A and B are shown apart, each in its own frame.
Chain A
Amino acid sequence: MSADTPLMKEPDASANPPVDGSELIRFDHVTKRFGSNTVLDRLDFSVSSGKHVTLIGPSGSGKTTILRLLMTLTKPEEGTITVDGEQLFPAPEKQIREVRKKIGMVFQQFNLFPNMSVLRNITEAPVTVLGLSKDEAEERARGLLDLVGLADKAGARPTQLSGGQQQRVAIARALAMRPQVLLLDEVTSALDPELVAGVLDVLRDIARTTDITMLCVTHEMNFARDISDQVLMFDSGRVIEAGPPEKIFSDPEKDRTREFLSAVL
């Protein structure tokens, strides 16, 4: 396994092997339970800077939980998570806020703020968190709206937009914080089929033209194949197989992976 691809270890491997220079995200022995249900079981994995990593696997296998842990929307029971050399769990609130600046997230249900205009949705955090002036933030926001093909919707309310448009605004909102990592949590699952392509095109564009690290949970296998440097196959809270998309999609090693792919492809 080369050093610049997400590396997999057996759960019993050393918790703290040497850290690679380009490593951006690192999970060490992370366990997450909901009640008696163990969603992640002593998970170890890491992602190198600039890579596009797709998490695939059946529902309930813990893919979304990984994104939610990174976004600090939930906490692990055990283990440590490190982002860009700084510990995210366990860490004091102040440090969590600092690390969180490096991460952006796009949600399945968009989660735009319905009480604000599209433009304000995008400028709100850059102004209040990064301290940008209103003009700077609006300039940045308009640039991003242009990128996602919604330059004419700056003054609209989120509820006036289609789901696909809302999701593209949500992508612009996340990018406005200039995160190092973009987490994409089933971003097309809530969309009508004919709106999916527009959102995926925008993401392909971003993957191609920026050096942002992407961590993506999706059921769009063609999209995963297109943008991924690495695909991780999850089952029952463990990574059971990892590799470049060509390998995973055409010649998986594990029966479970083959079974899953034949069901979704």
Chain B
Amino acid sequence: MKWDWGAVADFMPKFWDGLLVTLQILALGSLISFALGLAWALLMRTPTRFVRWPVGVVTEFIRNTPLLVQLFFFFYVLPEWGVTFSALTTGICAIGLHYSTYTMQVYRAGIEAVPAGQWEAATALNLPVRHTWTAVVLPQAIRRVVPALGNYVIAMLKDTPILMTITVMDMLGQARLFSQEHFQFTEPLTVIGVAFIFIAYPASLLVRALERRLVR
């Protein structure tokens, strides 16, 4: 086996297309998981168990079933019920939903880490409950959990190639297509492997820096 720089050059235009899709999945998937995870975490704090119970069951179910199965379910089963989205949209929603069940646990820990004295001070000042959440508790909780959320973004990055299985042309999708067309596997797969490292490693350094700064 020999390394063919020509194949690398041929692959690069496709690679950039794939990188763009991967980053799009990552950015939108992260946003969905951040927002939805926070919503789950807050719903789990409501006083009525008629809210907590269904949210608990649904999120436990999603967290404990494989992302790949959920992906296939959304891509192949939902259209049978008349719900059709593009492969990319379906993939982003599925991965965002899946990771929201992890981020909710991160938020939960962050919220629980806010000392009881903060709630008591807010009560003593007669602050409305909603205001206590938005001005006192969540700013402190979220500050603490930013590094942990960052770790899930990195984990999600490494899960993005799963979307290839529902025809999304991310980096791996492009590499596989190129390989099948040119019978050259080494070069495209190496290129995307290096690309993953170039994104994930600086991101992990950033997370560590944030940890030092934000988590006291």
Contact = CB atoms under 8 A, between A and B. Distances in A.
Contacts of A177: 125-126
Contacts of B118: 111, 113
B125 A124 contact: yes
Interface residues of A, number: 24
Contacts of A114: 140
Contacts of B136: 113, 115
Contacts of A124: 125, 127, 135
Interface stretch (A39-47, A102-110, A208-216): A102-110
A111 B140 contact: no
Contacts of A262: none
Nearest to B143: A115
B131 A128 contact: yes
B126 A101 contact: yes
A129 B125 CA distance: 8
Q: Place the interface of chain B in its size category.
A: 10 to 19
Nearest to A73: B120
A177 to B, nearest CB: 6
Nearest to A68: B120
B133 to A, nearest CB: 12
A107 B128 CA distance: 20
B123 interface: yes
B121 interface: yes
B127 A111 contact: no
A173 B121 CA distance: 10
A105 B127 contact: no
Given A111-B118, A111-B120, A112-B121, A125 B139 contact: no
B202 interface: no
A72 interface: yes
A21 B136 CA distance: 39
Interface string B81-123: 0000000000000000000000000000000000101101101
A129 B130 CA distance: 12
Contacts of B117: 107, 109, 111
B124 interface: yes
Contact of A97 (B120, B126, B139): B126
Residue of B124, B127, B135 ringed by the most chain A CB atoms within 10 A: B124
A78 B138 CA distance: 35
Contacts of A103: 124
Interface in A115-158: 115-116, 124-125, 128-129
A148 B121 CA distance: 19
B127 A129 contact: yes
Contact of A71 (B124, B127, B131, B135): B124
Contacts of B120: 71, 73, 107, 111
B124 A104 contact: yes
Contacts of B135: 113, 116, 124, 128
A100 interface: yes
7 contacts: A73-B120, A107-B121, A111-B115, A115-B139, A116-B135, A124-B135, A129-B125
Given A100-B123, A113-B118, A125-B127, 6 more contacts: A103-B124, A113-B135, A113-B136, A128-B128, A129-B127, A174-B125
Interface of A: 71-73, 97, 100-101, 103-105, 107, 109, 111-116, 124-125, 128-129, 173-174, 177
For the complex of A and B, list the 9 residue pairs with the smallest distance between their C-beta atoms, beginning with the closest: A125-B125, A111-B121, A111-B117, A105-B124, A115-B139, A129-B126, A100-B126, A109-B117, A71-B124
Interface of B: 115, 117-118, 120-121, 123-128, 131, 135-136, 139-140, 143
